[in-house]
Amino acid sequence: MKKIQTNTIILLAALSACKSIPPESSDYLEAKRHLESAQLSIEQLDALTSPHIPTPDKKELMSNFLKETHNAIPALERLASKNNAWAQYRLGLALTVPFTPPEERNRSCPLFKKSANQGYLPAIYALAGMCSKEITQAQLTMLLEQSLNDSEKFNTYYPAPAIIYRRCHKNMPYALAMPNLTRSAFEAEAYFDLSMAMPAAKTPEQREKRLAYLEAAKDRDCPAAQRHIDNLPPLKNPIETKK
């Protein structure tokens, strides 16, 4: 009897493990493979700064970037239809590449919004950066706060390309490739942006909250946060204010 029970437990554990594997994993791996190839091509294209490099090399890299991005779309579509936040974001990006028909390109903002509403930080920044009419500052603040409270659930989907003006680190304005940021790097930007979005710290509570955001950004390697921490004005003593 004990042997039967043991075998049953092992079988149930195996079935449970199978269920824990996302049903979309094959689509995820397929899309990821194509997107990584596309990213490599566009990064190599960025590296070709020498005027002595033949033009055909550049054309081939751009062609491969477009081809591999396009090849990822079917798998991304299937994943996005299952409400996968990563796929919604990456599909939105894929539809912004050159030569995409306008009607397809117009799908990007709704896809970013669906992903952002699930708390995926890269999509929140894409929504704010590319679809600014779709989101207010108050909504952006709320989404950033909610995302930071539950960011671990998307740990698998980092690093991710970023549509973001970085305040914590130097931007590369002339690069064709979007920077691939880690989860920690996205969080650093989010905490720093939240601190900057706050009104002037006039009360102990406001100052404490801003300081907490800045400390969180600093802990995630944001040098700008330390400068703002150093420049936080001290709160005035209420007694001195009355005088």
pLDDT digits (tens, 9 = 90+) for 160-169: 999 888 888 8
Specify the pTM: 0.84
Q: Please classify residue 196 by burial: count the beta carbons closer than 10 Å to its beta carbon, then call 0-12 exposed, 13-18 middle and 19+ buried.
A: middle
| Residue 166, C-beta contacts closer than 8 angstroms, at least 6 positions apart | 179, 189
Which two structure tokens, joined as six digits, stand for 45? 């294209």
- Burial profile 47-57: b = 16 or more Cβ within 10 angstroms, e = fewer: eeeeeeeeeee
SS3 percent helix, strand, coil of the chain, rounded to 5, is 70, 0, 30
SS3 (DSSP) at 180:
strand
Domain boundaries along the sequence of the chain: 27-234
pLDDT > 60? residue 7: no
Q: In this predicted structure, what is the pLDDT of residue 137? A: 93
Q: In this predicted structure, what is the pLDDT of residue 20? A: 33
The alpha carbon dihedral of 67, 128, 85, 77 has a sign of: negative
pLDDT digits (tens, 9 = 90+) for 201-217: 778 899 999 999 999 99
Q: In this predicted structure, what is the pLDDT of residue 1? A: 42
Residue, of 131 and 21, whose pLDDT is higher? 131
- Cα gap 18→15, rounded to integer Å: 5
Task: Determine contact, residues 90/120, Cβ cutoff 8 Å.
Answer: no
